[in-house]
Amino acid sequence: MVYINFFFSTEQTENRIGFFTHELVKLTKKIPSLDLMVKQLAKLGFKYCGDTKSDSKAFTDVLKKRIHISKTLSASEACLSLALR
């Protein structure tokens, strides 16, 4: 349920759809420290909200509790970007 709330929220609007969210979820679950971080972020109310719609590879809107990752990245690169958030 944590992954559904974090990665597949209604915050991810049609024009902000990410690259391969399912691939990102699979990789995140395989990395224990990243898995724990996602669970902690979800408890704090943060959500993955899709593409950055800019030149930025990733950014976090702390006030809105939204994380954006460029859809131009591979799933592995997106995992790394998520870990650095």
State how far the Cα of 73 lies from the Cα of 40, in Å rounded to an integer: 24
Residue 73 carries which side chain, given as an amino acid letter? L
User: DSSP class of residue 50?
Assistant: -
Biggest CA pair distance of the chain: 32
pLDDT of 10 higher than 80? no
Total structural domains within the chain: 1
pLDDT tens string 22-47 = 788 888 889 899 999 999 999 999 98
pLDDT of residue 18: 52
- CA dist 51 and 40 (Å) reads 22
- Copy the structure tokens of residue 24: 């990102």
Would you state the pLDDT for residue 83?
83
Q: Tokens 């408890």 correspond to what residue?
A: 43
Q: Can you tell me the mean pLDDT for 44-55?
A: 86
Helices vs. strands in the chain: H and E counts, helices first: 4, 3
Q: Could you list the residue range(s) of the whole structural domain that residue 71 is in?
A: 2-84
